[in-house]
Amino acid sequence: MTGRHVLVTGATGYVGGRLAPRLVEAGHTVRVLARDPGRLRDAAWADAVEIVRGDLEAPADVQRVMEGIDVVYHLVHAMGAGGDFAKAELVQARHVAAAAKAAGVQRIVYLSGLHPEGEHLSKHLASRVAVGDVLLASGVPTIVLEAGIVIGSGSASFEMIRHLTDVLPYMPAPRWVRNFVQPIAVRDVLHYLVEAASVPGDVHGTFDIGGPDVLRYGQVMNGYAVEAGLPQRPIAPLPVLTPWLASQWVNLVTPVPRAIAIPLIGSLLHDCVVEERRIDAVIPPPEGGLTGYRRAVRLALARERSGDIESSWRSASAAGAPSDPLPTDPRWSGTTVFEDARERTTSASPAAVWAVVESIGGARGWYSVPLLWSLRGLADRLVGGVGLRRGRRDPDRLREGDTVDWWRVERIDRGRLLRLRAEMKVPGRAWIEFEVTPEGDGAHYRQRAIFLPSGLTGRLYWWSLVPAHHVIFEAMASRLVGVAEASERSSRG
């Protein structure tokens, strides 16, 4: 059955960002709910869907967005969010369940996690089970798909496996490294999700999904090593490495921050394998069969190397990071504002300067004192922040919502303005803004670092960094403009 009216929540996330365009390709009319529609503005599929601003914690928003919908995909998870994420997930699920029932929705689809029955679950897995139970009790036919480790370019699980294996020639590991897991390729997860829209209305319940390979977690890491052309790593289980300590280790040596590493590690404390294959009678496997683990790794690596990453775990905001935009005029409202502004006039064209601005961060760095940036990134990781390892989705092009190391793109007016909002741990709120305008035969470059301090601690933080800021931001402005000028000279031959 095609031509359904479909709602996707969580379309700015890893799975939702891939599902929405595939539902369009399958012939469905797709609506997505987003708290910040600007984050979807540059998505390749944005013009093919209806984007509605709304918040799942506001019942009126949820009721409004359900009007005329046949199938709801609930893909919002709060892994890595601060506060009581389990309570927030339950509230959102109850709003979705009630609104779907009232609107006459014919099907709810939810992606949960594989877990053993009858065992004490991590808070993360227990929350997913509880959300599934709320949706199953909604009175609307519901399919809950339970998946284990999802392997694909940009997935948090894959990033953790990849960086742990790349960085460490020898892997000290907790005892549960010998637990069994059943990875599934993201392409197969999407197959089941897309096909769920067309399942007959009498199908209702929970279904396990997983790839064809059941592996110990140590085999998962060494399977990656083989595909990446690395020697297999010796692994020694250590009984003293608790989940909390393991998550700190993951936080330090991978881009995955502690707030996400903790639930990921928690989900590995048990054997997480497919215990029933009832899904085969409801949704047959993809044509050609399910993707094996090694092939899934191979495909993910190819995407990573080409830079063609469709969506990423980085889309999720960092735990506790401010999400409010830069106030229009904070001084007018009495807010204390600290600012470091630098300007340059250059012979380089606005296009040449903008090209350097839009490619800042990630592998190209910040054009000033790399050691100081590295030390600040390390300090942020040590206190549970995101540090510098998140990098960026695309080396040349940015869109709203993208991460750039410890920053997130808050606003981009391509060719003119880029504003990044800090997601590092600071006693206040911080932004850095780049503006490029034409001037004569060249361009005018303006750079602002803006900080709204929180209390005395925030003020002391800024004042203590004034000397370092002078060095860092002065060098950044000069070096960035110099790179633009050199690039233009080179292109002219």
* Percent of residues in the chain assigned helix, strand, coil, to nearest 5: 40, 20, 40
Say if residue 381 is in the same domain as residue 295: no
| Phi, psi values for residue 54, rounded to 5° | 180, 165
How much of the chain, in percent, has pLDDT values that exceed 70? 82
275 lies in the same domain as 385: no
With respect to residue 93, please indicate whether it lies within any of the assigned structural domains.
yes
Claim to verify: residue 308 and residue 342 sit in the same structural domain? no
In a domain, 220, yes or no: yes
Residue type, 329: D
Q: Would the pTM of this model clear 0.85, i.e. be above it?
A: no
**Quick check: is 321 in a domain?**
no
Shared domain for 343 and 307, answered yes or no, is no
pLDDT of 319 above 50: no
Q: What is the mean pLDDT of residues 177-205?
A: 91
Tens of pLDDT, residues 337-378: 899 999 999 999 999 999 999 999 988 899 988 888 888 887
Instruction: Mark whether 109 and 231 lie in a shared domain.
Output: yes
269 vs 193, which has greater pLDDT?
193
The answer to whether residue 392 scores a pLDDT higher than 60 is: yes
Contact (Cβ atoms closer than 8 angstroms) between residue 448 and residue 477: no
Kind and range of the H or E run holding 296: helix 293-306
Last residue of a domain, one of 283, 315, 347: 315
How far is residue 361's CA from residue 165's CA, in Å, rounded to a whole number? 24
* Tokens 């630098």 belong to residue: 342
Considering the domain boundaries, does residue 438 fall inside one? yes
Burial of 153 (0-12, 13-18, 19+ CB in 10 A): buried
The CA distance from 489 to 392, in Å, is 27
- What is the CATH classification number for the domain harbouring 452? 3.30.530.20
Tell me the per-residue pLDDT of 110-123, one tens digit each, with 9 for 90 and over.
999 888 777 777 77
Has residue 313 got a pLDDT over 80? no
74: CATH: 3.40.50.720
328 lies in a domain? no
| Phi, psi angles (nearest 5°) of residue 486 | -65, -40
In angstroms, rounded to a whole number, what is the distance separating the alpha carbons of residues 390 and 254?
9
Measure the CA–CA gap between 303 and 320, rounded to whole angstroms: 30
Regarding whether 178 and 286 lie in a shared domain, the answer is yes
Asked if residue 324 is part of any domain, the answer here is no
Residues 311 and 441 in one domain: no
User: Which of 259, 280, 315 is a domain's end point?
Assistant: 315
pLDDT averaged over every residue in the chain: 85
Q: What percent of the chain has pLDDT over 90?
A: 48
Residue where a domain terminates, one of 245, 280, 315: 315
Q: Are residues 385 and 472 in the same domain?
A: yes
92 pLDDT more than 80: yes
Instruction: Tell me the average pLDDT across 303-332.
Output: 57
Looking at the 3D structure of the chain, how many domains does it have? 2
pLDDT at residue 14 in the model: 86
280 occurs within a structural domain: yes
Residues 132 and 258 grouped into a single domain: yes
| Same domain as 56, residue 196 | yes
Please check whether residues 11 and 151 belong to one and the same domain. Answer: yes
CA 459, distance to chain mean position in Å, is 31
Do 134 and 255 belong together in one domain? Answer: yes
Q: DSSP letter for 189, please.
A: H
Residues spanned by the domain of 201? 5-315
Task: Identify whether 464 is part of a domain.
Answer: yes
